[in-house]
Amino acid sequence: MFAFIQGLSGQPFSGADIGGFAGNATPKLFGRWMGVGSLFPFCRGHSEACTTDHVPWAFGEEVSSSLPLLDIYLNSKLKFHVNMYHSEEERMKSEY
């Protein structure tokens, strides 16, 4: 929620700690959080010491089976942002 508020107030590069920072997430919660986190401009899976690593393969097959689909989506999103940046850069060069 905080990241959405930051985006609305002009902070474009914000995101969430997937799985939360404190405590352990369940595999189902972590998998869903990965899906929502992929919509943010920035997201990371990191947590405090003495908890389960917040990486997909630490939660077993239930979460890691979705990685190929998530990879396709994130690579498409990256290409889109790179193309948008370059087209905007060219537009600005032509105007000035």
pTM above 0.85, yes or no: no
Confidence label for 7 from pLDDT (cuts 50, 70 and 90): low
The domain segmentation of the chain, as residue ranges, is 1-65, 66-96
pLDDT at position 4 over 70 = no
CA 36, chain centre distance (Å):
7
Confidence label for 74 from pLDDT (cuts 50, 70 and 90): confident
Structure tokens at 65: 């089976």
Could you read off the pLDDT of 9-67 as tens digits, one per residue?
777 777 777 777 778 888 888 888 887 777 777 777 778 888 878 787 788 887 777 77
Question: 3-state secondary structure string, the chain?
Answer: CHHHHHHHCCCCCCEEECCCCCCCCCHHHHHHHHHHHCCCCEEECCCCCCCCCCCHHHHCHHHHCCHHHHHHHHHHHHHHHHHHHHHHHHHHHHHC
